[in-house]
Amino acid sequence: MSLAEGLAGERAWEVRRAGFPPVIRFARPTRTGVVSTTGGHCKLNCAHCGGRYLRGMLSPAEALRRARTAGAPASWLVSGGCDHRGRVPMPLGLLQELGRSARLVLHVGLLDLHRAEEVATAAAVVAFDVVGDRETAREVMGLDVGVEDYLDVYRALARHTRVVPHICLGLSGGRIRGELAALEALAGECPQEIVFLVFSPTPGTVYAGHQPPPLAAVGSVLGLARRLFPTTPLTLGCMRPGGHYRQALDELAVKLGMNGIAVPSPAAGRAAGERGLEIIQGEECCVLH
């Protein structure tokens, strides 16, 4: 780490220390079920995912069966594949049934604005991806949309429920490109929380042979986010690379003042202890607390 990077990191930590108590949330979402409203199907076949992540989710029928059992999840992450316009189908009947006895986190994509109220009112939280660069949206998802399109949907949803923007660092095949624009756009929206994900090369996808973004670049974005949002909780989400990269990233995230980490590595716990942070453990999706 260069001297400049070290100083920037210390400034980020000082901002965190001034704005928050010495507490960090570690979320291990064992009590959150995950359901895909489209099963394993996605019309976009995005370069970073290719529908691979849908395969580990329950189908709607499976989720409904599980919701009626004694060991039903306390909450559900409702996601799915996108249609050709980037919308994730959100059947109201499914949401109402799952929401009878559990909190819902909805991943809606670029929802039609006229559906924002009816869908948002079913959610405890909407997890909303924001892409800050039109070229990235075209390359990764095949969508001709810019940051303003994302903000329009964000604002429509935020009028009716809590919305947590998600920004994937390195989404463009491991390159940092539109992430700073996404942060700058959100700075005017006063989000209640922001979650950061990190691109992870996935076998069988267009980007399978790419590398995760350099840790120094990820650290620069996280440090800037801490300084741009001095009183907004910032969380490192569960979608990020594993192995040594994850250990180093988690340690860096603690030192840069993140307020929470999902599925933390042992390095996160050690770094939290070194910084004098009390660890609060959670058993549901990181946006539920």
Q: 279 forms bridges with which residues in the sheet?
A: 24
| pLDDT (tens digit per residue) in 262-288 | 999 999 999 999 999 999 999 999 999
Can you give the pLDDT at residue 2? 54
Distance, in Å, from the CA atom of 277 to the CA atom of 255, rounded to the nearest integer, reads 11
Prediction pTM value = 0.96
| CB-CB contact of 38 with 54 (8 Å) | yes
Can you give the pLDDT at residue 191? 97
AA letter at 124: A
Strand 125-129, strand 103-106: pairing: parallel
Distance, in Å, from the CA atom of 79 to the CA atom of 103, rounded to the nearest integer, reads 14
Distance, in Å, from the CA atom of 227 to the CA atom of 251, rounded to the nearest integer, reads 18
Residue 52 confidence (pLDDT) above 70: yes
| CB-CB contact of 277 with 22 (8 Å) | yes
| pLDDT (tens digit per residue) in 81-111 | 999 999 999 999 999 999 999 999 999 999 9
Residues 6+ apart with CB under 8 A from 151: 130, 185, 189
Distance, in Å, from the CA atom of 266 to the CA atom of 273, rounded to the nearest integer, reads 11
Helix (H) or strand (E) holding 64: helix 60-67
Q: What pLDDT band is residue 194 in, cutting at 50, 70 and 90?
A: very high
Can you give the pLDDT at residue 234? 98
Distance, in Å, from the CA atom of 140 to the CA atom of 143, rounded to the nearest integer, reads 8
Domains annotated on the chain, with CATH: 3-282 (3.20.20.70)
Share of residues in the chain with pLDDT > 90 (%) = 96
| CB-CB contact of 140 with 101 (8 Å) | no
AA letter at 28: R
Lookup: tokens for 261? 């980490």
| pLDDT (tens digit per residue) in 109-165 | 999 999 999 999 999 999 999 999 999 999 999 999 999 999 999 999 999 999 999
| CB-CB contact of 218 with 249 (8 Å) | yes
